[in-house]
Amino acid sequence: MKKFSRNIFPDSWIMFKRCLIISLRNPETLLTATLIPFFLILLFGTVFGSISDVGDFNYIDFIVPGIIFQSIAQASQYSAMNVAADMTKGIIDRFRCMSVSKSAVLIGHTGAGVMRGIISNIVIMATAPILGFRPQAGFVDWVLVIALLLLINITFTLIAVLCGTISKSVEGATGLLFPLFILPFTSSGFAPVDTMPRGIGRFASIQPMTPMIDSLRALTLDLPLGNSLMLALTWCIVLSVVCFAVSMRTFNRK
């Protein structure tokens, strides 16, 4: 099979529909990806909100970006599991015997993963106002929020696809994604960086999720962006390109 196929777009569309059908046959995956972040925002907003010092912010307003990242991480784990299942259960061998573009398989998984992430984000944004979230964004800010969330979903999904391609089992793919669940807690998602212990605060200030979360918070609450948006875009683009390139190389080698 050639590395490049003129059928890459129709092949990717077919693989995308296949992955969506797999998701529809397992609705509990999407339910889990939305319920867990919702209960997190409920827990943090009601239990920890009264003892957390975030300055002039309402704590719910402050933590919504971090909860969104948790929802994206929850949704992306199913991309890793589905890719690992394809890699280990023989379906890829069948695809290799067919006139199917190699990259279409991973593109299909990526597209379906982004869709799951977007649905999860919508659920969080729709339910957060019930718990007290009061965004101050204007029209342009919301456009930037949607664009940034789309890029972040693509980045997280490509990381998950990479984990799926290098893992030797479905369970192992989920384990490789563990940092995505931890990093939001060691970022500016749930507490200001300057209130953290020195070592953790230094790590939080340089890790990629902090500028992404800061950008979402600034856009939704109409705050100054500073250089956080540029850093967030840089991290997303670099991680996406690297993860897709390594995923394709691993996929072709296996």
Q: Are 98 and 42 in contact (CB under 8 A)?
A: no
Q: How far apart are CA 179 and CA 177, in angstroms?
A: 6
Q: How far apart are CA 64 and CA 45, in angstroms?
A: 10
Could you say which DSSP state residue 169 is in? S
pLDDT tens-digit map of 106-141: 899 999 999 988 988 888 888 888 888 888 888 999
The pLDDT, as a whole number, for residue 1 is 40
Cα–Cα separations (whole angstroms), residue 202 to 65, 112, 125, 186, 195: 20, 35, 30, 10, 11
Number of residues in the chain: 254
Q: Name the token pair of 249.
A: 């190389």
For residue 110, give the 3-state DSSP assignment: helix
The pLDDT, as a whole number, for residue 4 is 45
pLDDT tens-digit map of 146-191: 999 999 999 999 999 999 999 888 888 888 888 888 888 889 888 8
Q: How far apart are CA 246 and CA 228, in angstroms?
A: 27
For residue 48, give the 3-state DSSP assignment: helix
The helix-helix angle for 209-220 and 228-253 (nearest 10°) equals 130
User: What confidence tier does 26 reach under pLDDT thresholds 50, 70, 90?
Assistant: confident
pLDDT tens-digit map of 188-226: 888 888 888 888 889 999 999 999 999 999 999 988 888
pTM of the model: 0.88
